[in-house]
Amino acid sequence: MSSSGDLLNTKTTHVALFPSAGMGHLIPFLRFAALLLRRSDCRVTLITINPTVSLAESRHTSQFLSAFPQVIHLQLELLPVDPATVNSDDPFWLRFEAIRRSAHLLGPLLSSTSPPLSALVHDVSLVSPVIPIAQSLSLPSYVLFPASARMLSFVSYYPAFASGFESSNSGPFEGGLVRIPSISPIPKSSIPTLLLDPKSLFAQILMEDSPNLSRLNGILVNSFEGLESDSLKAINAGKVSKALPPLFTVGPFPPFEFEKVEWSTPTTWLDQQPDGSVVYVCFGSRTALSRDQTREVGEGLVKSGYRFMWILKNMIVDREDYDDLKDVVGSELMEKMKGRGLVIKQWVDQGEILGHRAVGGFLSHCGWNSIVEAALLGVKILAWPLHGDQGINAEVVRDSGLGIWVESWGLGCGGIKSNEIGERVREFMGNESLRRRAAEIGDMATQATVVGGSQEKTLGRLIQEWDKRKMAKE
Ligand code: UDP
């Protein structure tokens, strides 16, 4: 006979979270975990890979685990992968594939977890390898999607899209557009370049995984009605694809205390600047512009006449980024930038910066986490999508009115001159109606996160579903 303590233990909602590589994938998982841990009725197991691709990932994970010592931490040991067998040389894509190939090791790792698990929430790049494992453990499995609901529509539609490369002379486009049921058309120029090549690793993963999305118990998105209501409504109404399982709109995820960086963030400099006067520039955690384009950005910021805070990345993987700021930017440009802005070649607490009263706009590559953070803090965006899902995310920025996108810059990492950058930044920073619209979106985002808001309700619904399934199993 079990004691009441054991009974309570068995009844606890216990979720295993399994992110994949890269900060853009890790951060939403850690924030989602922190949201669950705010509730007294939830336990969390976090599965990580060691070593991580970037230093930022291992630091963030350590900070999270120190802040939440009650979290059970499991490490999955990866099997070696011969890079010659993977069609990518990007370190993060190589890691995605390595995790896929080692996913079967998850079963033994999770089988003895206590209290018994209620659900497994995993990365979108792990759909096909992880579903059979969850099934073998009689666990419901959910994906935490790291991009917009609009991008999710495209992911679910991808096999139909890709079949167009073979079946029709005009390819998968009708008049240069992808037409997904109930979603406004997506132009070819917004589609991730890798998905225009059916042989790329990204395309191969989607060809295998998209048809399996229907086998998931649900998909969680870090989004909210005020940002992309059309896509969310269309997916929820089952109009986009029969293959999509139920959608849980659990966003917007706020940044948490555990994310604060050890060294003091540059708020001292921001404190000295007037309200809304600074343009914050950051292209995410894993995008490095060429040296030439980097310098054009710097010159452009100087030419804009606005104060700026620029987070500069010189390498895709932070561990390999040894170069001095002066060498990357050049001493002439360093001199010009003096007194006008702050250039930082280090990890910063972006949430803190975006929330500072001096920041009036964000020149962003449109990684989804960055967009949601700006939306939540009511900061307008000048979209400069560079690769991957960022073009489709930039459409959400434009369509919601959170920001503007200079579409003539295209989806790419180069060739934009400083005069053009300076002019666009100046126009953007001076755009008062955009500021007001971003503030409205910020209010809607806040409404979603307050007690009794859509986030709490959706989380409650999800936990209820997990508990019901667990009880039915026992
Ligand atoms: N970020 C940060 N400090 C940095 C660079 C990035 O806090 O110096 C965070 C940013 O706030 C966001 C994440 O890293 O939460 C980057 O994810 P996103 O989806 O925006 O872009 P990705 O890095 O995946 O391209």
Q: Is the pLDDT of residue 84 over 70?
A: yes
Please state the three-class secondary structure of the chain as a single string. Answer: CCCHHHHHHHHCEEEEEECCCCHHHHHHHHHHHHHHHCCCCEEEEEEEECCCCCHHHHHHHHHHHHHCCCCEEEEECCCCCCHHHCCCCCHHHHHHHHHHHHHHHHHHHHHCCCCCCCEEEECHHHHHHHHHHHHHCCCCEEEEECCCHHHHHHHHHHHHHHHHHHHCCCCCCECCEECCCCCCCEEHHHCCHHHHCCCCHHHHHHHHHHHHHHHCCEEEECCCHHHHHHHHHHHHCCCCCCCCCCEEECCCCCCCHHHCCCCCCCHHHHHCCCCCCEEEEECCCCCCCCHHHHHHHHHHHHHHCCEEEEECCCCCCHHHCCCCHHHHHCHHHHHHHCCCEEEECCCCCHHHHHCCCCEEEEEECCCHHHHHHHHHCCCCEEECCCCCCHHHHHHHHHHHCCEEECHHHCCCCCCCCHHHHHHHHHHHHCCHHHHHHHHHHHHHHHHHHCCCCHHHHHHHHHHHHHHHHHHHHC
- Give Cα separations from 297 to 158, 294, 375, 425 (angstroms): 34, 5, 24, 10
Residue 10 confidence (pLDDT): 63
Mean pLDDT for all residues in the chain: 93
Confidence bin at 1 (pLDDT 50/70/90): very low
Ligand 1 center to 40 CA (angstroms): 29
Q: Judge if the beta carbon of residue 25 lies within 6 A of ligand 1.
A: no
CB of 311 sitting under 6 A from ligand 1? yes
Q: Which residues does 66 contact at the CB level (< 8 Å), separation at least 6?
A: 258
Residue of the CA atom closest to atom 13 of ligand 1 = 24
- Indicate which residue of 14, 122, 123, 318 is catalytic: 123
Q: What pLDDT was estimated at residue 3?
A: 43
Domains detected in the chain: 4-256+450-473 (3.40.50.2000), 260-447 (3.40.50.2000)
Q: pLDDT confidence of 4, banded at 50, 70, 90?
A: very low
Residue 264: is its pLDDT beyond 70?
Answer: no
CA distance 216 to 132: 10
Most confident of 18-22, 167-171, 322-326: 18-22
CA of 25 to the centre of ligand 1 (A): 10
31 lines ligand 1 (CB under 6 A): no
Give which of 114, 111, 118 is closest to 13, Cα–Cα: 118
373 lines ligand 1 (CB under 6 A): yes
Residues whose CB is less than 8 angstroms from the CB of residue 184 and which lie 6 or more positions away in sequence, other chains included: 230, 399
Q: Rounded CA gap, 283 and 134, in Å?
A: 35
Copy the structure tokens of residue 106: 């998850």
In the predicted structure, residue 174 carries a pLDDT above the cut 80: yes
Confidence band for 14, pLDDT divided at 50, 70 and 90: very high
Least Cα distance to 136 among 106, 97, 98 occurs for 106
Q: Which is the catalytic residue, given 14, 25, 122, 356?
A: 25
Q: What pLDDT band is residue 265 in, cutting at 50, 70 and 90?
A: low
pLDDT at 290 over 50: yes
Q: How far apart are CA 230 and CA 232, in angstroms?
A: 6
Q: What is the pLDDT of residue 5?
A: 44
pLDDT greater than 50 at residue 260: yes
Express as a percent the part of the chain with pLDDT over 90: 84
pLDDT for residue 2 is more than 80: no
For the CA of 22, the closest atom of ligand 1 is: 24
Query: How far away, in angstroms, is 284 Cα from ligand 1 center?
Result: 4
From the CB of 63, is ligand 1 less than 6 Å away? no
Residue 467 falls in the annotated catalytic set: no
pLDDT band at 7 (very low <50, low <70, confident <90, very high): very low
The verdict on the CB of residue 286 being under 6 Å from ligand 1 is yes
265 and 285 in contact (C-beta within 8 Å)?
no
User: pLDDT digit string (tens) for 293-308?
Assistant: 999 999 999 999 999 9
* Ligand 1: centre distance to CA 336 (Å): 27
Q: Is the dihedral of CA 100, 104, 109, 112 positive or negative?
A: positive
Q: Among 21-35, 80-94, 166-180, 413-427, whose mean pLDDT is lowest?
A: 166-180
410, pLDDT greater than 60? yes
Gap from CA of 369 to ligand 1 centroid (Å): 6
Tell which residue, 403, 397, 313, has the closest CA to residue 360.
Answer: 403
**How far does the centroid of ligand 1 lie from the alpha carbon of residue 370, in Å?**
6
Q: Are the C-beta atoms of residues 150 and 183 closer than 8 Å to each other?
A: yes
348 lines ligand 1 (CB under 6 A): yes
Which residue lies with its CA nearest to atom 7 of ligand 1?
350
Per the annotation, the verdict on 104 as an active-site residue is: no
285 ligand 1 Cβ < 6 A: yes
Ligand 1 in reach of 367 Cβ (< 6 A): yes
CA 317 to chain centre: 17
In this prediction, residues 203-207 reach a mean pLDDT of: 97
Mean pLDDT of all residues in 447-474: 92
Question: Which carries the bigger pLDDT value, residue 16 or residue 6?
Answer: 16
Q: What is the pTM of this model?
A: 0.96
Separation of CA 132 and ligand 1 centre (Å): 31
pLDDT value for 216: 98
